[in-house]
Amino acid sequence: MPFGADRTRCPHCGVYFTDRRASKRIRQELSLRISFNGSVYAARTADFSDNGACVLLNGWQPDREAILDVNIEEFRLCRQAITVWARQLTKTLTSAGLKLL
């Protein structure tokens, strides 16, 4: 089990659950810019970790496995990421999971 991983016990059978992520997710909403195919899109984080983020996108949905340039100015972070999953939440709002490269 990775250092810092949470261990929660099932109240019914006593089995331990572990978070499969190696790093903790932080729930915080931050503004970011995503560049893809020459276009720049504004987005917001729902949560993030050292290795990835869940982002909310307004007006577009990236393809699975698309390579994106992610810029979070607040953290001076400018890295490439790959889209792991994307779900349409409403007509205009999409949630997407990104893995930082």
Is the model more confident about 5 or about 30? 30
Nearest to 45 by CA among 57, 59, 62: 57
Q: Which amino acid is at 7?
A: R
pLDDT digits (tens, 9 = 90+) for 31-88: 999 999 999 999 999 988 888 899 999 988 899 999 999 998 888 889 999 999 999 9
Which pLDDT score is estimated for 16? 65
Residue 4 pLDDT > 80, yes or no?
Answer: no
Nearest to 74 by CA among 52, 35, 45: 45
* Domains along the sequence of the chain with CATH: 23-100 (2.40.10.220)
In whole angstroms, give the CA distance from residue 48 to residue 58. 18
Confidence of residue 1 (pLDDT cuts 50, 70, 90): very low
In whole angstroms, give the CA distance from residue 34 to residue 83. 11
Which pLDDT score is estimated for 51? 87
